[in-house]
Structure formats: C-alpha cells, structure tokens
Structure 1
Amino acid sequence: MTTPDRFFCADAARMRGDPLAGTAPRGAVWVLIEYRGAWPSNGYDGIALDPETKARVWSAAHEVRARIFLIRRLVRPRPEGPGRWAVLHYEPAGAYRQRWGTWSRDQDLLEIAEALRTPGHLDLPPVVLVCAHGQHDICCAVRGRPVARVLGERWPNLVWECTHVGGDRFAANVVVVPDGVYYGRLDPASAVEAVEEHLAGRIPPDHLRGYTDLAPPQQVAVAALLARFGPAGRHAYTVTATARDGDDWRLRVELHAPRPTAFDIEVHAHRTGPYRLTCQGPVPGPAVAYEVRSISSA
C-alpha cells in the first residue's frame, strides 16, 4: 500500500515488525454515542452538541476515566430515528455490564452521566468496535472500513464502526467491549477468525494487542502464554505478582484450567525509534516495546 508519494503508518509498522503485545490502552469503562454526522479528527471533542450537555457528559466520563467513542453502523442509507448510546463497564471480578439508551435531542445524552454511576445489566452480548476514523488517521479508514464491512455482514447486531481507539499503526484495530480486548493488524479474513474465536470464548494470540485491565508488561506476559499454549478464555490467566527492576519485569501468571498452573515470566522493555508512529505525525518519536526473555513453570 505504501507509495513514494504518501506515507502510511500501518505499512511502515508492518515492515519494521512492530510488536503488537502490550499496546492496548488501559481502561474499564466506555461510553458509546451513535453519531451520524461527519466525525472530526478529535472525535467527541469536536462534534456539535449543546455546550452544557457536552461538558457534563465529558466531566462524568472523566471522573471515572471512561473513554468516549463515537459509533455508527456501516449501512446505506443511514438509519433514521433516534441514535443510541451506551455505557459499558468491565469489573475486576470479570463481570461485564452494559446500559443502553437512545437520544433524539442533545439533552437526552445527559442520561449518560447517570448511567456512569450505575452498574448496568449483565448477560448482554459484547460490542465489537472497528476503528474507521479516517479523519484522525487515513490507515484507520483504509484498513478499518473493509474489516468493519465484513464483520458487520457477519454479526450485524454486534459490530459498529468507531472513532480513534489508539495505535493507528496497528490498523485495522478491533476492540471488544466491555470485555476490554484489543486486536490489531487485522484484515477481513483474520478479523472474522479472531472475532469468531473471541465469541466462542477463546482469545486468539496472533493479533492480540492486550487486555485493557492489565499494564503493558502484564499484557505481554499473558499474550506469550496464549502464543505458547493456544487460545484460552478471557479469564483463564490471572496475573498474581508483578515486580520491576528498571527496564526488566518479572511476572507470575496463573492458569486456572484444566489444572492450576503458575508461570514466571521475564519481560524486558526498551525504547524503539524514533519512528513516525502515525500518518499525520510530523515528528518521529520512540515507542516502548517489550521482549519476553523467559517463561518457566513456578
């Protein structure tokens, strides 16, 4: 896809072999707002809403460190009627909670502030978000939209396009919420395989960026075990100890089934670069990458 005339960050990252594991942003709460107008480059911050409503929603989300994504269905013509909104929570015990509503007037979105203070409902199907935010980064549209299209055809009730999720160079990016699982460097075929596995209760390692409830070295440790032993459930592994010595990390991760097993994993962090990490980033910068040095049974 790269041409002499244009730089594509996702192509460059593939050529460098940038590692995926350990790149999922931290987070446990998400706000989704169906927005059918044009998405500005800065997402929610740039859309035209009643200023007081917009500020109150942002403040309520900021208070609980929730991320706000704009979402839309990849269908033509655009749906009519009220838009939808959702608040999704991932709880440390593994419970997934959601609350959904609709909005026709800007002020209807004030319900989001209240929903952020309530737990929401269990037993709802997960939401599959595909970053297709071309105004933020062209790679997100070029690589994300074909993935959104094929996933939307397969699971029309679960899949939404969304604004910037982080990690433009790993496009196409898919986030499953409130599970809090990031996948990257997908194409239509690998996206279907990854989501199929995920919905079947098996997290595939090949395109895994990480779990959003874990710190980057912890994400790397879990991804290494999935790569070695094969797909496993979202909560099959638990990080029970994390120790740091400079750029080196030692982690203990426990596998709960088929029998209790513990692993000690050594991870080394280093700075890369400097590289252009986004299509529009004018100044090259470093990134932090992680290398698994050893895995041993505890």
Structure 2
Amino acid sequence: MNHPANPPLPPDSCSLGWGGLSAFGTAPQASFWVALEQPGPWGRDAFTQSHLDPDLGARIEAAAAAHGGRAILIRRPGQHADSHGGPRRVFVAGGLAGAAWLLSGEVDDPAEVLTLPWEHLAQTRPVEAPWLHPADPVLLVCTNAKRDRCCALVGRPIVEALAERDLRVWECSHTSGHRFAPTGVLLPYGQVLARLTPTLGVEVLEAAASGKLAVGTLNEQHDRSVSWLPPREGAAVSWVRAREAFTDPIGLAAVADGDSVTVTRVDGQIWELTVTRQESEPRAESCGKDAKPAAVFHVELLSAVYA
C-alpha cells in the first residue's frame, strides 16, 4: 500500500539518510506505557525540561523504567497553551504481552501519577485506580523538536491532519529512533511505527478500533516491532507478520537462542528463523550527530510448520 509523501526535509536530515533501511526490531523496550499530558514547550529531555516540575518528572520516568515500562509526555494537537496548571490527561497501557488494555483519566496534580501500581502495569488484567477508565486506542506521534528536528518537521503535520478528522491522536515526546521520523506509538498494543504518513495514520487508527494492527504497517518500512519484545525477537515477529499479513496484535510468541528465533502462533504454526544484526555504511542516528555504522536486523526463514 502506498502512502503520500511527508513534507520535504533539509538534505542533511538524519531520517533521509536512513531511508530504505529496515525498521524491524528497533522499538524501545517497554512492557507498559504511561503517557502524561504536559502543555507548553519541551526541551531535549522533556520530563525534566518543561513546565513539569523537573524532580517530579525524573521520579515518574524512574518509576516507569524501574518496572520495565516507559513514560512519555503528550500534548493536544494544535497550539500549545503555555499552561502551568489545570487537569492533565493520562493514558496507561499495559498487558502488552497478553490481552493489551488501555485506561485513561485526568489528574489535577501530575504527582498523582506516582500513585499508580507500577509493579502491576505489565499484567494482563487492567489495574484499578479511581481516576482511570477504559479507553479506545490512541496514536502518539513524536514532535519533540528539541530532541531532533525531523520529529517536529514531519511529525506535527501528521498530528494536525489526523486531528482534523477527529481521530484519536496526540503529540508525544521522544520515542527513540528519530532516524525513522515521523515515529509513533500505537496504544494499547505497544506497536512502534516508523515513517508515518497521514494516510497510514488513518489506517492505523481504523484498524485499531477493530482490535487489529494495520496491514499497511506490516513491513520493514513502517514496523519497528512491538515494545514488549527484545529487539531480535521483535524483528522475527515483525517478519512473520509481514509474510503472513497477521494483524492480531497478540497471537505470536518468540523465543531466541542466539541468532536463532522460534516464532509460534496460537494455532500451532511455527517459524524457525535466523536473525542476524548487520552493519551498513555509516549514517547519523540524529540530526547534527556524527555518522556511525548503521545496524539493522536481517531475517531469514529456516523452516515453517503449519498446523
């Protein structure tokens, strides 16, 4: 499926240098996601360089990381009111390796996020908190310009285009991998996306509303894999999804033994794969940084057994 091109970037932009390289297995690892609304400007390190109290921001990030998850800041589409107070939207996505769930609510004080039962956010059963309620899938698109200019230049137009259609999209802070800008995260499934376009964003949210991953994302161009899998296993699962057009966000398990990865589907199908990390010519991973060898995962099929 072809998608319209994004706005042009300066010729020295990092994401141009990575065009055409596989995105498989490049998702940041996280067994759950916590997204906190923070209006106004963000610095390079958004949780400690915004109007959010930097000590509180550091504590939220640390709590998520200590329990195997990831915290991220979000902003509503459109003009960013330079607000220091007021209710804040929060999304909590967990159970990613099983029956993924998404809760949402508002807090008057962002410090309330620290009261989350962090040790239970990765579990299959949704956690309970009086201010959290079940929510529909949401797409977070990185626009953290101070982290990398590519994200703002091509990320913000996507957010604006999707918001015009009243779709569930938010701007977000750094997701890692700005070399694949525009990048995004689909909650609750934890699928991390590369090289988004407005058309692809629509497909992503329409599929998610039916509990599926978008077929148009299941390829090396757009699928950075799911965050709950380690990189090599993630690359293997993404390869199988692309080969089989398998849109169920759960349904696949992966076990690695060195470069060998076994992917198993719930119906008994098994794929034996070799996943090797290979280097190509040097490229900059971020705008303004020196080039270094670019690492990608190469996947080969050894055997497949169909139930």
Q: TM-score range by the shorter chain?
A: 0.7 to 0.9
Say which SS state the counterpart of residue 190 (structure 1) adopts: helix
What is the percentage of aligned positions where both structures have the same residue? 28
The secondary structure found in structure 2 opposite 1:40 is: coil
Query: Deviations 1:80-110 (Å, cap 9, x if unpaired)?
Result: 852223333235332324353323xxxx222
Match of 1:285 among 292, 295, 306: 292
Alpha-carbon deviations, 1:154-178, whole Å to 9, x = none?
A: 344x211001111111111120123
For residues 64 and 269 of structure 1, the distance between their equivalents in structure 2, rounded to whole angstroms, comes to 27
Match among 289, 293, 303 for residue 296 of structure 1? 303
Deviation (angstroms), 1:153:
2.6
- Equivalent in the alignment of 2:115: 114
Which one of 197, 202, 212 corresponds to residue 207 of structure 2?
A: 197
Look up the match of 1:269: 277
- Please give the residue correspondences for 1:52-71 in structure 2 after superposition, counting only pairs within 5 Å: 52-71=55-74
Q: What per-residue deviation string (whole Å, max 9, x for no partner) do you get for residues 120-147 of structure 1?
A: 4674212210111112111101111111
Kindly indicate whether the alpha-carbon contact (under 8 Å) linking 1:128 and 1:160 is maintained by their aligned counterparts in 2.
yes
Which of residues 243, 257, 260 in structure 1 aligns to 2:257? 243
Q: Indicate conservation of the 8 Å contact 2:277/2:297, yes or no.
A: yes
- Aligned mate of 1:83, from 88, 98, 104: 88
Deviation of 1:67 after TM superposition, in Å, equals: 2.2
Equivalent residue runs for 1:94-113 within 5 Å = 94-103=99-108, 108-113=109-114
How far residue 187 of structure 1 moved from its aligned partner, in angstroms, is 1.6
Equivalence for 1:160: 170
How far apart are the structure 2 equivalents of 1:102 and 1:122?
A: 12
Residue from 138, 142, 151 that aligns with 1:140: 151
Q: Which residue of 1 aligns with 2:231?
A: 216
Tell me the C-alpha RMSD between the 2 structures. 2.4
List alignment gaps of at least 5 residues for structure 1: none
Indicate the residue corresponding to 2:98 in structure 1: 93
Query: For this pair of structures, how many residues does the alignment match?
Result: 281
Supply the distance in 2 between the matched residues of 1:268 and 1:216 (Cα, whole angstroms).
Answer: 11
**Distance change (3 Å), C-alpha of 1:83 and 1:8:** same
Equivalent pair of 1:99/1:115 in contact (CA under 8 Å): no
Aligned-partner Cα distance in 1 for 2:211–2:285: 32
The residue identity in structure 2 corresponding to 1:18 is: L
Closer, same or farther in 2 for the Cα pair 1:9/1:196, shift >3 Å? same
Closer, same or farther: CA 266–88 of 1 in aligned 2, 3 Å: same
1:13 paired residue among 18, 29, 44: 18
Aligned partner of 1:42 in structure 2 is 45
2 CA distance for matches of 1:159 and 1:66?
Answer: 21
Looking at structure 2, the residues matched to 42 and 55 of structure 1 have their Cα atoms a distance apart, in angstroms, of: 10
Distance 1:223 1:131, change over 3 A: same
Instruction: Structure 2: state its 5+ residue gaps.
Output: 1-7, 121-126
Q: Aligned residue for 1:225?
A: 240
Cα distance, 1:65 vs. partner? 3.6
Q: Distance in 2 between matches of 1:64 and 1:187?
A: 32
Counterpart in 2 of 1:179?
189
* Change in CA separation of 1:155 and 1:209 when aligned onto 2, cut-off 3 Å: farther
Inter-CA distance 212–58: structure 2 relative to 1 (3 Å threshold):
closer
